[in-house]
Chain A
Amino acid sequence: MKNILNVEKIEKYYGNKENITKAIDNISFRVEKGEFVGIMGASGSGKTTLLNCISTIDTISTGKIIINGQDITQLKSKSLDKFRQNELGFIFQDFNLLDTLTAYENIALALTIQERNPKEIDGLIKSVAETLDISSVLNKYPYEMSGGQKQRVACCRAIVTNPSLILADEPTGALDSKSSRLLLESFEKFNKELEATILMVTHDVFTASYAHRILFIKDGKIFTELVRGNDSRKDFFNRIIEVITLLGGDDNDVF
């Protein structure tokens, strides 16, 4: 299997010399091609910082992040933009759709930014919309769509460029349970069918149970790792709950 993401001993500090906060404290892990990895942790554990660093939105203090063979910590800002355009796809909690554009145009924008040939754009959008079942809303504006539809449009935008890594930050955070299920099923779908590699940050156990492997982060460190293996989703769900309880146990010790 091809190695897509390689995180080596990264650290991220905030603040000055006298008062250092370590948001990420020596984290290392790898993600292979076609994997669906979840990152869990309580709020303030550093999971969003980790995702931001991987997504090149934030910079790390020390360590290396290698995506598809490229060390992104060494890239200049110009090539970083290029890298973001071609190698990464983003899905955000608040969708980040442009309210002035229709669903179709929102998806098209990811391609036009890459300066794709105008002729192939239409076909790409239609086929990806088909996969996620949003063909009927392509000509609607975000304010005319439901949350689930919006998030699926955002998904289309993320995968239409065929990135090596899809980064999802609390993708179900703003969705109801039905929409969440629909969305996660589509995640599974393009994970299987398109061999998309997905890295998803969440604090929701149900959402996390769709992943193949979950990294638990606590105080900026990897606390433990859970692999689904051949478990059913329900069993995996229960195992996650157990870990969460254990994680929370630390807090209980205080009292």
Chain B
Amino acid sequence: MYSKIALGNVKKSVKDYTIYFLTLTLAVCIFYSFNSIESQKSVIEASSGKDDFNILTTVISFISVFVSLIVGGLILYASNFLIRKRKKEFGIYMTLGMSKRKISKILVLETFSVGALSLISGLILGVVLSQGLSIVTAKLFLVDMSKYKFIISTSAIGKTILYFGIIFMIIMIFNTAVMSKYKIIDLLTAGRKNENVKIKNPFIYVLTFILCVISLGFSYYLVLKVGLKIKDSLFHIAIVLGVLGTLLFFFSLAGFGLYITKKSKKVYFKGLNIFILKQINSKVNTNFLSMSVICLMLFLTMGMLSTGVGFKTTVESLIKAATPFDATAKAYSGKDGKVDSIEKTLKSIDFKFDKSEKYVEYSEYIINENINEVLKLDDKQKKELSKLRDWNPRVIKISEYNDLRKLQNKPSIKLKDDEVLITANSDDTVEVINKFLSNNKSVYIKGTNYKVKNHKLITDATRTTGELKDNILTLVVNDDFIKDLKLNAKYLNVNFTEENKEESEKKFLKLLEDFRDVYINDSKIDYMIVNTKKQEYVESRASTILVLFVVIYLGIVFLIASMAALAIQQLSEASNSIDRYKSLKRIGANDKMINKTIFVQTLIYFTLPVGLAFIHSIVCIKVINDYISMFAKPNIGVGSLIVVLAFILVYMGYFCATYTGYKNIVKNS
């Protein structure tokens, strides 16, 4: 009998709360998909050959705990709404003599069946979706697609069932606890009790709204000024002010909006506007806390997704510029200030170059003048460079420079006795040097003016490194010039041929390992760093994939959770307002008018948190943009576009579902 009631209720709930059910299914599906990546381990590791994939799966399993907390919170919230909606029903059961324990039993059964149902459908959907996700993963890791198989991850299924099982367990306990607290009279009169619409003095709202604008404005100002300095106390203040401003916004907005619209009789007295305003007012007033949380969550989502996607494209373009050669070995100057030829060092450890491997070695010297003296900076430029102005530029011989160009199949450059080339690619100096080049024709070194041959700054890197854009300022000079200069480092650039690429790669990776693991502490051999192009790509790919996955995983969950929370709030509002719509209908409002009020209400209710989150994230993206541009030209545009599109899709989906659901609830009453 109890299970019959419970199942009947589930059927009813599934129909009433399609959104609740769909969100659960979606959450399960996403949870499974991301956790099932692990099952592709063998395939991906075989071709990737590194433990990057392990890091990815570890991070994902960590985040899954966090995700399950969010989803758990959402379900708790939703089920609380469901119970509140059915207080009267439980009251009737109790007057009929059913004990609280038995009602709890019904509730437990219900939670169990809804949970089981959404788990099953979510897992089925997840198995389908995870195939797509796995293909994307494989593509990102550059895995041969032919090795790819359709995989159902039993461990991920087990994990999903375990995590969601725990969530549903907690919900059951929570529901039982809530049930036992209720008194029968409260249950029976639940429907009749009016929501107390506390209307405070409108000036309180006006005041808090002004406060909110001030704190948000100040927060934006601070964060734009300070930038992304996580340790800076001003940055912390900006965040606190931002959160506070968001809270105040939702606290005051409804009252403030009401105050403003009341002033305009034309708006206030038009159609059902009075009703719409009051509906939103009461809703936002009672839910301002959850709306603030939703807004902040949406803000995190937008910020994370757009910068995450932007991060990937940015890093990719950076890596390309930073790896002009297939491999580079770098030797620092030894204790005595001398650096041995890398070629010689390699020979001494029995490293032999293959015929196919073309290499060029060059030396980098350091001059005694600093940038300030060389470029004769004015005060403004000095300020722009700040500490860097005391840095000593590096120097390369033209003959070696031309050898490097030859290796890259570029034409060589001829320098006259009094000419130099200026190269740089660091974001800290490029701008200043460009300005310098547009106004000046000469640099001052060793007490003499040298003509600058290039009119445009040369930004090409002269070696493959793990550091991006590390050329602060390097001059290319005539060979005689370096006579009495201090040697800073030696570099050996290698290019492989297509046929022997893999072998050479392995050879140089081994060399890298040798130097990394065993410090060759021979007095004649200096410490050496080896970087290969492929290894840089793999490394950066691993980190960008990690960032992408984390960001997309969290982003989707946040987005769905906040949209679902909004939708559930709206729908519960719908069932609470049925009487109001009946009254409206009785005093002559037609269906068109009523549908319009529902539309406007849902639209405003959905737009408020999204709108504020959007403004927040514009500021946030600007700050992050500024931060990234210290290392690279940020490329957030495309990323943002994709995010915005995905966002609109989910938003529209939930909006339409809510609007139709709301309309149906009102219509069926």
Q: Which residues of chain A have a CB within 8 Å of any CB of chain B? A: 57, 77-78, 81-82, 84-86, 88, 90, 92, 96-101, 105, 108-116, 118-119, 121-122, 141-143, 157
Contact = CB atoms under 8 A, between A and B. Distances in A.
Of listed A81, A84, A100, A122, residue having the most chain B CB within 10 A: A100
26 contacts: A77-B590, A81-B589, A86-B588, A88-B588, A90-B587, A92-B586, A98-B583, A99-B580, A100-B197, A100-B278, A100-B580, A101-B274, A101-B278, A105-B274, A105-B278, A112-B269, A112-B273, A113-B271, A113-B593, A114-B588, A115-B270, A116-B269, A118-B270, A121-B269, A141-B197, A142-B194
B269 A118 contact: yes
Nearest to A92: B586
Interface string B219-244: 00000000000000000000000000
Given A109-B587, A121-B269, 5 more contacts: A84-B587, A86-B588, A100-B282, A101-B275, A113-B587
B580 A98 contact: yes
Nearest to A56: B588
B266 interface: yes
B409 interface: no
B586 A112 contact: no
Nearest to B583: A96
A131 to B, nearest CB: 19
A108 B271 CA distance: 10
Contacts of B584: 98, 109
Nearest to B198: A141
Interface centre among B266, B281, B584, B586 (most CB of A within 10 A): B586
Given A100-B282, A105-B274, A113 B269 contact: no
Contacts of A111: 269
A142 B199 CA distance: 13
Contact of A157 (B269, B587, B589): B587
A118 B268 contact: yes
Contacts of B281: 100
B370 interface: no
B265 A119 contact: yes
B604 to A, nearest CB: 15
B521 interface: no
Contact of B265 (A82, A84, A98, A118): A118
Indicate the member of A105, A108, A112, A115 with the most B CB atoms within 10 Å. A112
A99 B588 contact: no
A112 B584 CA distance: 12
A115 B279 CA distance: 20
A109 B590 contact: no
Nearest to A115: B271
Nearest to A122: B265
A174 B590 CA distance: 28
A222 to B, nearest CB: 26
A14 to B, nearest CB: 20
B491 to A, nearest CB: 75
A92 B271 CA distance: 22
Contact of A96 (B268, B272, B586, B591): B586
Contacts of B358: none
Interface of B: 194-197, 199, 265-266, 268-275, 278-279, 281-282, 580, 582-584, 586-591, 593
User: Quick one: which of A92, A109, A141 has the most chain B CB within 10 A?
Assistant: A109
A99 B274 CA distance: 12
Contacts of B275: 98, 100-101, 109
Contacts of A119: 265
A217 B269 CA distance: 42
Nearest to A105: B274
A112 B590 contact: no
A122 B262 CA distance: 12
Contacts of A121: 265, 269
Top-10 shortest CB links A-B: A81-B590, A85-B588, A118-B269, A100-B278, A96-B583, A84-B588, A118-B265, A99-B194, A143-B194, A105-B274
A210 B268 CA distance: 38
A2 B655 CA distance: 52
B39 to A, nearest CB: 53
B654 to A, nearest CB: 25
A112 B272 contact: yes
A79 to B, nearest CB: 10
- Residue among B197, B270, B282 with max Cβ neighbours from chain A (10 Å): B197
Contacts of A113: 271-272, 587-589, 593
A90 B269 contact: no
B192 to A, nearest CB: 10
B266 A143 contact: no
A99 B586 contact: no
Contacts of B271: 112-113, 115
Contacts of B194: 99, 142-143
Nearest to B577: A100
Contacts of A118: 265-266, 268-270
Contacts of A88: 588
A26 B583 CA distance: 30
A88 to B, nearest CB: 7
A92 B584 CA distance: 13
B315 to A, nearest CB: 53
B257 to A, nearest CB: 15
Contacts of A114: 588
A107 to B, nearest CB: 10
Nearest to B270: A112
A121 B292 CA distance: 37
B265 A81 contact: no
Nearest to B590: A81
Nearest to A121: B269
B197 A99 contact: yes
Contacts of B270: 112, 115, 118
A58 to B, nearest CB: 12
A109 B197 contact: no
B266 to A, nearest CB: 5
A127 B580 CA distance: 26
Contacts of B590: 77-78, 81-82
A44 to B, nearest CB: 23
Contacts of B582: 96
A157 B265 CA distance: 19
Contact of B279 (A82, A84, A100, A116): A100
A141 B270 CA distance: 21
Nearest to B274: A105
Contacts of A78: 590
Contacts of A157: 587
A99 B191 CA distance: 13
A77 B589 CA distance: 12
A72 B357 CA distance: 97
B269 A57 contact: no
B72 to A, nearest CB: 33
A101 B268 CA distance: 13
Contacts of A116: 269
Contact of B583 (A81, A86, A97): A97
A98 B272 CA distance: 12
Contacts of A84: 587-588
Contacts of B195: 99-100
A78 B593 CA distance: 11
Contacts of A101: 274-275, 278
Nearest to A57: B586
A98 B278 CA distance: 10
Contacts of A82: 590
Nearest to A80: B590
